[in-house]
Chain A
């Protein structure tokens, strides 16, 4: 099982109300060093088998046609991610929540 990670961000010239809300709240917790926050979206697409060039090409097409709106957003990354890393992340989260 392979996964493709797609990252989408609002274009830099578009105001990001959610990022601004987060930026406004961080100083209340003492985080005064961050001058700006931009919030994006991550999609993790899972396929049977390996992530081939065809799979990556399909992911790029999905990213441009549906996962992002080119009027306001940029696809900033489309990359294969090893399944082992993903499952480790899930495992450690599960362990933490049990603890």
Chain B
């Protein structure tokens, strides 16, 4: 099972994504932004980073890279595609997923272990999770605030297309000795605590946090990220 990982100028996590594919039992294939070929892969990961320096808007220039002219029709035809962080932004700019990400509401970069709830365990990338499972993976971003108009948000919720939500930790009691900066709120101001969404068919999934950094014992907060990749490998076997 071949899973392609696209490298754009400014991609940072393409190497980790390929490593995650390999550890999960897949065969990683490097794809290049300037090629309009998907090299016959069975699924594609758009990795995190700062493609084209995030100039104009995050993902806005990558969306018009030659590789996207092959990827967009393939995704619309059912190819499993996972967009992580900047990859999620590229999927939104491509209109493969609704909404968009703007700067975190607190205007600072964040990097933390983040709890998420799996809201849809039927997509190509989440089918190995239990519905409602809570997982912990790394969140690191500057422009991570998910926004969309009310109609789109209602539609997403009505159709079960919110794939992941940030678990909002309860606000600390006054005088508590430990203080979570984001207690009582989600970590970037995302509307309705949305961390990731899926298209209607369930083959295209995007999320802000990074599953590819949570795949090996001793590195990252958990092994929860592996389940994304085992899910898609099973999906492809059953396809």
Chain A positions within 8 Å of B, measured between CB atoms, are 10, 13-15, 17-18, 20-21, 66-67, 69, 71-72
Q: Are A15 and B105 in contact (CB under 8 A)?
A: yes
> B88 → chain A, closest Cβ, in Å?
13
Q: When A13-B149, A14-B147, A21-B107 are in contact, do A69 and B57 touch as well, CB less than 8 Å?
A: yes
Chain B positions within 8 Å of A, measured between CB atoms, are 56-57, 60, 64, 92-93, 98-100, 102-107, 145, 147-149, 189
Q: Of all chain B residues, which has the CB nearest A14? A: B147
Q: Are A14 and B64 in contact (CB under 8 A)?
A: no
Most B CB within 10 A of own CB, among A13, A14, A20, A67: A14
> B86 → chain A, closest Cβ, in Å?
15
Which A residues are in CB contact (< 8 Å) with B107? 17-18, 20-21
Q: Are A72 and B100 in contact (CB under 8 A)?
A: yes
> B24 → chain A, closest Cβ, in Å?
32
- Could you tell me the distance between the alpha carbons of A10 and B148 in the complex, rounded to whole angstroms? 12
Given contacts A15-B105, A71-B149, 4 further A-B contacts (CB under 8 A): A13-B149, A18-B103, A69-B93, A71-B92
> A10 → chain B, closest Cβ, in Å?
7
Q: Are B189 and A71 in contact (CB under 8 A)?
A: no
Which B residues are in CB contact (< 8 Å) with A21? 107
Please name 12 pairs of A and B residues whose Cβ atoms are closer than 8 Å in the assembled complex, sorted by A.
A10-B102, A13-B149, A14-B102, A17-B103, A17-B104, A18-B103, A66-B56, A69-B93, A71-B99, A71-B148, A72-B102, A72-B147
Which A residues are in CB contact (< 8 Å) with B100? 69, 71-72
Q: When A72-B100, A72-B147 are in contact, do A67 and B56 touch as well, CB less than 8 Å?
A: yes
- Could you tell me the distance between the alpha carbons of A66 and B55 in the complex, rounded to whole angstroms? 12
Q: Are A17 and B60 in contact (CB under 8 A)?
A: no
- Could you tell me the distance between the alpha carbons of A13 and B145 in the complex, rounded to whole angstroms? 14
Which A residues are in CB contact (< 8 Å) with B92? 71
- Could you tell me the distance between the alpha carbons of A26 and B24 in the complex, rounded to whole angstroms? 52
Q: Are B102 and A15 in contact (CB under 8 A)?
A: yes
